[in-house]
Amino acid sequence: MPKDRHVSVNGITIKITEQGEGPLVLLLHGFPETSYSWRHQFQPLAEAGYRVVAPDQRGYGGTDCPEGIDNYTILHLVGDVVGLIHALGEKHAVVVGHDWGAMVAWNTALIRPDVVRGVVGISVPPLPRGLVPPMAAARERFGEDFYQIHFQQPHVAEAELSKDIPATFRKVLAGPRAATGGGQGGFLGSFTEPETLPGWLTETDIATFAAQFATTGFTGGLNWYRNLDRNWELTTAWQDTPITPPSLYISGERDGVRSIYPPDFLENADEIVPNLRGVVNVPNSGHWTQQECPAEVNKALLDFLNGL
């Protein structure tokens, strides 16, 4: 069974859930999630001979939430991954990420390829650094109502998401979503609360996420979005640098992120991820792929891991 404990990394305390022995596999969650989003991956990967560790990332769950937006840059997040690998007594790991966790995984492989045996991104593909700041590009493409722009306003999204936390998770995890969100209707205006939960999501799951965010709030996770332009500035030195470790991309065929970050990176995959081992399209899956279709995701992960 997975067990929880805390590890000191880079001046903060990180809560991890771990199971198994063998080569280290780190599982990085997205927004708004925690390590609980990987509940279906621990046992299959551990039984296959891997040491599986999922942290609550900086600002989430049982991990510290430092004050100040500038404590949540991509360099902090990558630094936490590298520090965690070393704190676990390892020299390297396979880093798997979903949603924002995928962005952290890709950037860890970009910035510190020496500690990454392999990298897997779920939902969010490897995104080359653009020529203009991300928020300017988002405003031009999607307008002021785009959810990432909405999230830039301090306290506004926090108040909206915290008003009824169980309802927030029912809407975000199980409600239909438009490609953009925010603006007059707020972020949640793009979702409808479902009458019944889908088969992959239980009331216990909703209660677990709601309890975690009732304790920590949403500011830590939202601060990741508030650093998007700062991250662009901080990563100037890696402009046009390829992600060299062996890589895999997994995407749900009904994932709304495809309309935001279309997987057209494949047209230039040799330049972006020259060691791409595969692309897995998961049928009948939306954005929450490893929760919605764990059997398909676990097979893809194990095929990749066993091939390293």
Active-site residue set: 99, 287
Please tell me the distance from the alpha carbon of residue 229 to that of residue 138, in angstroms, as a whole number.
Answer: 11
Q: Nearest to residue 81, comparing CAs of 27, 19, 18, 11?
A: 27
- Return the structure tokens found at 297: 């995701």
| Whether the Cβ atoms of residue 128 and residue 270 lie closer than 8 Å to each other | no
| Whether the Cβ atoms of residue 248 and residue 300 lie closer than 8 Å to each other | yes
